[in-house]
Amino acid sequence: MRKITSEKVMSADNQQERSKIINPWYITGFTEGEGTFHVALYKDPRMKYGIKIIPEFHINQSFLRKETLLAIERYFGCGYLKRNHANNFEDDTLVYVVRNREDLMNKIIPFFEKFPLISNKAKSFQLFKEIITLMNEGGHSEKAGIIRIIKMAYQMNQQGKYRKKSQDEIIYSLKSSETIRQNPK
């Protein structure tokens, strides 16, 4: 074991900085209760098949515990905080969001591989990881890849229980790239 000889390392300022570092297992536990791995699917006529795929990791919490979300944001060094439902003034929750695919692939996924979830959320995480890997390989640029992503996304988070449209509606709404070029809106 190495002996610490620097006075600065043992100073009160340094101890305060160390106390601000959040335990990674705390983040895993917090995610078990308040976090979600989600793949948003939006109609977007600018996209090749008329659908935009946005993978995101987020954690919701009351604004009273904003410091916890800020500590998690500092830990990962990515993402941002925002009001959960900006148009609903009765909702006092904040959400920590990571949407950048590079950050998801290089920070969020390796974190949860090292500090794994143990609930049913672990299945959603595995599907989330597969979707991001497929997207990084260009799978979201082909119709078959998009359909595969949609099917995996609908297996996440209690089989897509809270989605507004059915899986079949989303798949049916996919347009061929030729149709989109002929009928831009």
**What are the residue boundaries of the structural domains of the chain, listed by start?**
23-176
**Is the full-model pTM beyond 0.85?**
no
The fold of 23-176 is Endonuclease I-creI (3.10.28)
Phi, psi angles (nearest 5°) of residue 41: -125, 115
pLDDT at position 23: 95
Is pLDDT above 70 for 120?
A: yes
Dist CA 44 CA 121 (whole Å): 29
Share above pLDDT 70 across residues of the chain, in percent, rounded to a whole number: 76
Dist CA 55 CA 38 (whole Å): 6
